[in-house]
Chain A
Amino acid sequence: MDLPGPIHNFLLVFLGSGLILRGLGVVLRINPIYSAFSLGLVLVCISLFYILTNYHFVATAKLLIYVGAINVLILFVVMFMNIQNIIKILIHGPLGMALLRCTILDTSWYGIIWTTRSNQIIEQDLIGNSQQIGIHLATDFFLPFEFISIILLVALIGAIDVTLQ
């Protein structure tokens, strides 16, 4: 969407802070059902974020596939497990703290912040986002497209075969 500047920035900050809080909620909540719901909200925030950057097809595909199928599958698995041995004390031993320190302090935030972009002239898109993706999928990326369909078929058969016994 071509929103004016302040609304765009406000929505970005809003979605970003929501993402941060819910990402922590996925990891730190004890009850796995709450963390599955937090994962669903993270995915919804990410698709709203894609709508802001004018990529409507990827946003809708993420909503349908991730929230509609994958999150529902994870919720089914969580509810099917009937996890009773929920440890009341959060076990964040030395390994967890070391890992948190590694991932947050050793990421080169400085290198990320100083990534510059070239000054591009933004032309007006005459073709929509779905049509562009469709054109490229049908011409340049046709072989990966067929491979993805085979992979999904094999995954489907494999999952049914594992759980049939």
Chain B
Amino acid sequence: MMLEHILVLSAYLFSIGIYGLITSQNMVRALMCLELILNAVNINFVTFSDFFDSRQLKGNIFSIFVIAIAAAEVAIGSAIVSSIYRTRKSTRINQSTLLNK
């Protein structure tokens, strides 16, 4: 009973994260939804390593690496967002069209 309920929960968090990431007009909200996605993936890894790999915990260790990568990515993302805000005074996503045409 427990494995499939936790997997459904992490799939739900992943869907909510993708939905929020694509339909958000604010760059900071997109960063937050990216964190939701990474956390859902972490729940999946840890649950599978709990149920199938209790001796070696490979999924658990991989989730530690995912946490570290998410920390680096949030740092870089917020640096980029604050430099964009400084030059443009707005954080709307649909105004970053400099690579068009």
Contact = CB atoms under 8 A, between A and B. Distances in A.
B46 A81 contact: no
Interface in B34-83: 35-36, 39, 42-43, 46-47, 50-52, 54, 56-58, 60-61, 63-65, 67-76, 78-83
Contact size range, B: 35 or more
A7 interface: no
B72 A165 contact: no
Which of A70, A113, A152 has most B Cβ within 10 Å? Answer: A70
A121 to B, nearest CB: 10
Contacts of A120: 52, 54
A74 B36 contact: no
Given A61-B67, A87-B25, A163-B83, A103 B57 contact: no
A107 B12 CA distance: 9
Contacts of B81: 77, 81
A92 B95 CA distance: 18
A152 B43 contact: no
A141 B61 contact: yes
Contacts of B24: 27
Nearest to B8: A112
A3 interface: no
A80 interface: yes
A136 B33 contact: no
B36 A26 contact: yes
B71 A152 contact: yes
Given A65-B71, A73-B78, A85-B90, A136 B39 contact: no
B35 A39 contact: yes
Contact of B46 (A53, A70, A83, A141): A53
Contacts of A77: 28, 31, 78, 81-82
B27 to A, nearest CB: 9
22 contacts: A27-B24, A35-B32, A36-B32, A43-B35, A58-B63, A61-B64, A66-B35, A74-B35, A81-B85, A85-B92, A91-B23, A92-B23, A107-B15, A109-B8, A112-B8, A113-B4, A117-B51, A118-B52, A133-B60, A144-B65, A154-B72, A159-B79
